[in-house]
Structure 1
Amino acid sequence: MIILGISAFFHDSAAALLVDGELVAAAEEERFSRRKHDNRFPVNAIRFCLETAGLGAGDLDHVVFYEKPRLKAERAVATILSEVPHSFGPFERFFTHGGARQAVGDQIRETIGVPASRVLFVEHHLSHAASSFFACPFDTAATLTIDGVGEWATTSIGEGHASWDGTGENRLWLRETMHFPHSLGMLYSAFTEFLGFQVNEGEYKVMGLAAYGQPRYRAELDRVARQYDDGSLWLDMRYFRYHRSVRNGFHPRLADLLGMPPCPPGVELDPAAEGEAGARARRYADVAASVQQFTEDAVVAMARRAVEVTGHRRLCMAGGVALNGVANYQVLRRAGVEELYIPPAPGDSGGALGAALYAHHVLLGQPRRFVMRHAYWGAQATPDAVTRALDRAGLAYTTQPDPAALAATVADMLADGLVIGWFQGRFEWGPRALGNRSILADPRGPGIKDLINKKVKFREPFRPFAPAMLHDRAAEYVAGDGTDQWPTRFMLMVMPLEERFAASAPAVDHFGTGRIQTVAPETNPLFHSVIAELGQRIGLGCVLNTSFNLRGEPIVATPEEAIATFGRSELDALVVEDRVISRS
């Protein structure tokens, strides 16, 4: 049974391919098109998946789309009509650009070349839930999906039951849903826009900025968004415009309520700066802290409700809000959850895999075989491609074919204070660089964080970096329980650091916390070896890890892109597979 899953037309279009229930390849379209958060039909990602498996379109048993376009169109029309005459913008956009969405089936048939009988559709939140539950190792679990909006649902609680041997039935269904426009994801995005960041891109920045502030605007936030004991949420739509505007998510009343104007897009916020600029940035940081605290409380309440409704203390989370690592850790601490699973791509790109998994296991009744234990499902460069790229660029390099020697060489460079671009194997599925397309540095350097933000990544000075640590030593470095939980493998939990570790590794310390990645030898042996070798030199089994890209660009996917990023930044060295290039 060969199934291709697709997500497209909102943000982060992607494709994923299952062969007999096992994942073979998965990738976001942006990695090939170089258009960040590309929402177009993922022709390049589809081609990559099929080529990886050595298959053609005629080999596909089914193509599955991650939502039901007709239901989404019904919600769009109903919302537009309910907001007349204020909804001219969405009305115009829907009827000008909505054709592709209305004719998704036709586009799949024409672009891929499969008959209508092989095209299936799965509801958006079921695709999200399946991307987590059918990738986890659990037999049964509660599911919690929180995002902006699917067809109508903005939050859903579900339950999954798995059959691994084929003797039982695979089931996944939604038990409770919260509907548009009352949406935690849209609330967070509206405040992302208020703070001057790009929606569906700057939410990470809000989370990072929040650590510099205090939730002084929580009372004002509680006036525009109300949480209930059952985990549901109500928004006062007088303060928002995302239901009637394609450009502005918040109403000017929100600025009046907060007593400050929205931050203009493009203005650099530096809450550590002195003078009026710093004071102004700290006021916006207080807004970020308020919406972050509200979000954490809401996610915990929703997770607690999922445990209550299903009776399961294993929880599978998905949806864009599941990328909020601070909230995820609070779920583990406060919601009565014993085991938590979040896939490396919980957002819309992951819906492509979820749609395929749901079709395979539920619609077609096939047994489970797959557990997503790592995130390395993207494209890999051949040795000849690496050689050609380096020769075309005119770069001198040394070759280290022995993995142990390569790990030792890289550890030496890191211990000497070099910042390294690291390109290995298949690129990651999801938005996090997990050791195959990473920028690496010694976590001890007190000025390394500012250096990388300013001269390598060219991004805001308040942005933190992640500590990638040896799995078997993580409990020494993290103050809270949970380093053995699945989200730490995918850098999806922000956890408190041990004071001694935080003092020793200031480059990865963010106000006493870190976005943890645990690295095990069975999932990434070379990256694990680099960290272990570095640990022998510096006394810490940890390395600073951030994505290999410049601000505003997708993570590099090819040797050419790695070389170009190396040339346009102040990286000290570049390692592409077994080739080592030093700027000196």
Structure 2
Amino acid sequence: MIILGINAYHPDASVALFNDGVLVWAGEEERYSRIKHASGFPEMALRNCFKNTQTAPANVDAIAISKNPRANMLRKIFYSITTAIDPKLCINRIAAFKKISSIADVYRKTLNIPPPTKLPKVYYLEHHQAHIASSFFLSGLSRAAFLSLDGLGDFSSTMWGVGEGNSLKAFDRVYFPHSAGLFYTAATQFLGFLKFGDEYKVMGLAAYGKPTLTKMLQKMYRLKPKGQYELNLDYFLHPKGKAKIRWEGGVPDQDILYSAEWIKTFGEPRKPEAPITQREKDLAASLQVVLEDIYFHILNHLYMVTHEDNLCLAGGVAFNSVANGKITRNTPFRNIYIPPAAGDAGTAVGAAAYITHAIYNKPRKFVMDHAYFGSDTSREGIITALKTKSIVYEEIPTDAVLLKKTAHAIADGKVVGWFQGKMEFGPRALGNRSILADPRRHDMKDILNKRIKHREVFRPFAPAVLEERAAEFFEMDCESSPFMLKVFSVKPEKKYLLPAITHVDGTARVQTVSQKTNLFFWRLKMDMLILDHYLIERNR
């Protein structure tokens, strides 16, 4: 049975394909359109999915859409009636409803399927159900508590409950307009980071500040019994529809979410081109504290009602790797699974997984323990690309020589573009489409940020470390961290060895490299380790 999952007309548009309960392909539209967080319909990803898997559209048994415009409809109607909503928002929502409802026609047009041909059945799945399915059904856990926490999807921002076998049982939700994700986005905008998806910059900036503004931010929300929370809506514009999101030409653009109350509290917002002052650093640090306050409040309630050691997370807030690294210290949960595409791109996987297991009751036999599900290329394809761009190249005769040559280049201070195998699914470069450099060099972080990435100097870089050696360098609460979704402290005695990846607060966002899931990258890390030992001995 072949199930196709699609996230469309929403940021991070994506496609996923399951065959007999196994994920065989997953990719985001942005990887092909080159538009960051591309929205709209994922035409290019869809075509590449069928091309790469050699799947004929006629063989697809069902299509799963990670959006259900009919979900929570009564709440939407009641809110519209009782709140003075901007009429433009209602018009916008009606247009969105029509778009998502006509997705079968867009699918047919994209793949040039003639009208008489019958299309597969289309299922519409609630946004947070798709989030959770992307985590629990692919975790390998037979039972676990779950939490989905993000900005907004199908009129809710938060959902928690328990998964068991082929079923998901939601215990409760937090509905629009209350949202920890939108709270974080409003603060991100106030700090001068206005592009869609800039929240991760604020997480990195937080380490440079002190949480001196926490009490001011705490006026903007309230924790309630049973894991609930609510925003102080005086501080936000979205409740009355004054802050919309658009995606003209596939580019997502979010209106300003914070109200004038933020300016009364903190002064004028930072302009994007302005220097970052101590105020911005302290506000970022304080924001991290209050996000964790909400996060752990929900999680501790969730444990209290489930008593599960296992936890599956999804939603955009699950990308907050700083908070994720603190869960076992601040809640009773012990075993945490977060998929590589925890954000909206992952809902395509989740929608297909839900239909496969919860609707068709197919057995769960697949575990997502790596992220390499995107497009691959051939030797011929690489050579053609190099020649097209007139790039001088050398073809290395064997893998062993290539690995040693790469290890020596990194040790010599070179920056290496590493391209192999299938593309990663999700926002992290995890050893197949990566920039590699020597973490021992004090100047490497600035070299990468200024000369290559052309980004803010405060942004940290992440280490990739052999899974079996990770505990020697980092204070980890787990054996593996394959998706770079947890931040851990660098061991005090190792910090001087790893200046390029040790953040200002002594932490690092760790990726563990497994021999099982990425043998070639693992072999490169082994060659680098052997070379490192040799250089140390030689220089004694």
Map 1:420-569; keep pairs closer than 5 Å: 420-482=416-478, 484-485=479-480, 488-510=481-503, 511-539=505-533
Number of the residue aligned with 1:201: 197
In structure 2, distance between residues paired with 1:443 and 1:117: 50
Number of the residue aligned with 2:247: none
- Secondary structure at the residue paired with 2:186? helix
Map 1:345-384; keep pairs closer than 5 Å: 345-384=341-380
Query: Does residue 394 of structure 1 match 2:387?
Result: no
In structure 2, distance between residues paired with 1:137 and 1:159: 14
Number of the residue aligned with 1:93: 92
- Secondary structure at the residue paired with 2:64? strand
Map 1:235-384; keep pairs closer than 5 Å: 235-243=231-239, 244-245=241-242, 246=244, 247-258=255-266, 260-269=267-276, 281-384=277-380
Q: Compute the displacement of 1:538 (Å).
A: 2.7
Indicate the larger mover: 146-155 or 440-449: 146-155
The letter for the 1-side match of 2:63 is: V
| Pairing partner for 1:136 from 121, 135, 139 | 139
- Secondary structure at the residue paired with 1:71? coil
Structure 1 75/148 Cα, relative in aligned 2: closer, same or farther at 3 Å?
A: farther
Map 1:215-226; keep pairs closer than 5 Å: 215-226=211-222
Structure 1 81/452 Cα, relative in aligned 2: closer, same or farther at 3 Å?
A: farther
Q: Compute the displacement of 1:98 (Å).
A: 5.3
In structure 2, distance between residues paired with 1:385 and 1:351: 30
- Secondary structure at the residue paired with 2:161? strand
In structure 2, distance between residues paired with 1:529 and 1:435: 11
Deviation by residue 1:412-457 (Cα, 9 ceiling, x = unmatched) = 0000001111111111000000011111100011111011111100
| Pairing partner for 2:174 from 168, 178, 181 | 178
In structure 2, distance between residues paired with 1:149 and 1:141: 23
Mapped contact 2:346–2:426 kept (Cα < 8 A): yes
- Secondary structure at the residue paired with 2:475? coil
In structure 2, distance between residues paired with 1:90 and 1:41: 21
Structure 1 477/539 Cα, relative in aligned 2: closer, same or farther at 3 Å?
A: farther
Query: Does residue 67 of structure 1 match 2:74?
Result: no
The letter for the 2-side match of 1:47 is: R
Q: Compute the displacement of 1:228 (Å).
A: 3.2
Number of the residue aligned with 2:252: none
Mapped contact 2:63–2:120 kept (Cα < 8 A): no
In structure 2, distance between residues paired with 1:65 and 1:75: 21
Q: Compute the displacement of 1:200 (Å).
A: 3.7
Map 1:77-156; keep pairs closer than 5 Å: 79-84=79-84, 87-95=86-94, 99-108=98-107, 110-111=109-110, 113=113, 115=118, 118-156=121-159
Number of the residue aligned with 1:559: none
**Identity value in percent:** 39
Number of the residue aligned with 1:567: none
The letter for the 2-side match of 1:355 is: A
Deviation by residue 1:31-58 (Cα, 9 ceiling, x = unmatched) = 1111111111111111111122211211
Instruction: Please list every run of 5 or more consecutive structure 2 residues that lacks an aligned counterpart in the other structure.
Output: 245-254, 536-540
Number of the residue aligned with 1:50: 50
Mapped contact 2:76–2:155 kept (Cα < 8 A): no
The letter for the 1-side match of 2:160 is: I
Deviation by residue 1:526-556 (Cα, 9 ceiling, x = unmatched) = 1112122112233599xxxxxxxxxxxxxxx
Q: Compute the displacement of 1:208 (Å).
A: 0.4
Q: Compute the displacement of 1:91 (Å).
A: 3.6
- Secondary structure at the residue paired with 1:137? coil
Mapped contact 1:144–1:317 kept (Cα < 8 A): yes
Mapped contact 2:69–2:97 kept (Cα < 8 A): no
Mapped contact 2:62–2:122 kept (Cα < 8 A): yes
In structure 2, distance between residues paired with 1:67 and 1:75: 16
Mapped contact 2:474–2:491 kept (Cα < 8 A): yes
Mapped contact 1:126–1:173 kept (Cα < 8 A): no
Q: Compute the displacement of 1:187 (Å).
A: 0.7
TM-score when normalising by structure 1 = 0.85
Number of the residue aligned with 2:34: 34
Q: Compute the displacement of 1:377 (Å).
A: 0.4
The letter for the 1-side match of 2:142 is: D
Deviation by residue 1:48-82 (Cα, 9 ceiling, x = unmatched) = 11122211211100000012122377766655554
The letter for the 2-side match of 1:23 is: L
Aligned length: 518
Structure 1 78/200 Cα, relative in aligned 2: closer, same or farther at 3 Å?
A: farther
Mapped contact 2:467–2:512 kept (Cα < 8 A): yes
